Amino acid sequence: MISKKKLGLVGRNISYSFSKIFFEDKFQKLKLNDYSYDIFDLEEIGHVETLFSDPQLLGFNVTIPYKEKIISYLDELSEEAQKIGAVNCVVIENGKKKGYNTDAFGFEKTLLIHIKKHHHAALILGNGGAAKAVRYVFDKYNIPSETISRKSEINFENLDRQTVENHQIIVQCTPVGTFPDVNNCIRFPFEGLSEKHLVIDLIYNPSCTQFMIRASEKGAKTVNGLFMLEQQAEKAWEIWSFRKK
């Protein structure tokens, strides 16, 4: 029996993830019968040490809530991952573990499709690993951005209509509203939105979150996180494939 080369996804409470279906479909199309993609649902990030002891593991994706915590378990970071401060793709080669960030690539692809000339400033809702990748992309394009989190100066409690009106791009980076809690929504002054706004919710399951529904009711253009997810996954596959050549 041929032992399979393993890839997978590290996170917590991630049974809903699209990644397994995405990569298994890719393996089938490419006739890569000796590859597998598994969900590594870890209660604590320290359990990743067990994964590293598997000689068949080539690498893995990383999702909530470990994109920042995984860094201390790695030997090296790509320049981009180092600048962002978050990792969502790991390569294991000759026993060395290197972290990359492909979220930035995926978000950049999404943003460039939808951004208009009047989109001059952005609000980033949340301060986790995905939010850090989003901020990195805005910095790259010299788009001023403000991060809204529970502990920031402007936070979810005091964010007001005027601030929303002054920032034409809104990126929802928290997991609030993800399946199965599809009726949940962060606190947000939706009255500040208009048809001039671009609202990107990084959640992809459900395809239309409560945040998106309420934003679209105000006329805003809404986009979910599926294209970003697909693009970051393709970039991860490119990194894994390149390293194996």
Q: Which residues are catalytic?
A: 67
Peptide bond connecting 175 to the previous residue in cis, omega within 30 degrees of 0 = no
CA distance 193 to 202: 18
CA distance 168 to 180: 29
Task: Report the DSSP beta bridge partners of residue 155.
Answer: 149
Amino acid 161 reads: R
Q: For 190, which DSSP code? A: G
Task: Report the DSSP beta bridge partners of residue 11.
Answer: 41
The answer to whether 205 touches 16, Cβ cutoff 8 Å, is: yes
Residue 115 burial (CB < 10 Å; 0-12/13-18/19+)?
A: middle
Tokens of 38: 């598994």
Which of 105, 107, 150 has the alpha carbon at shortest distance from 125? 150
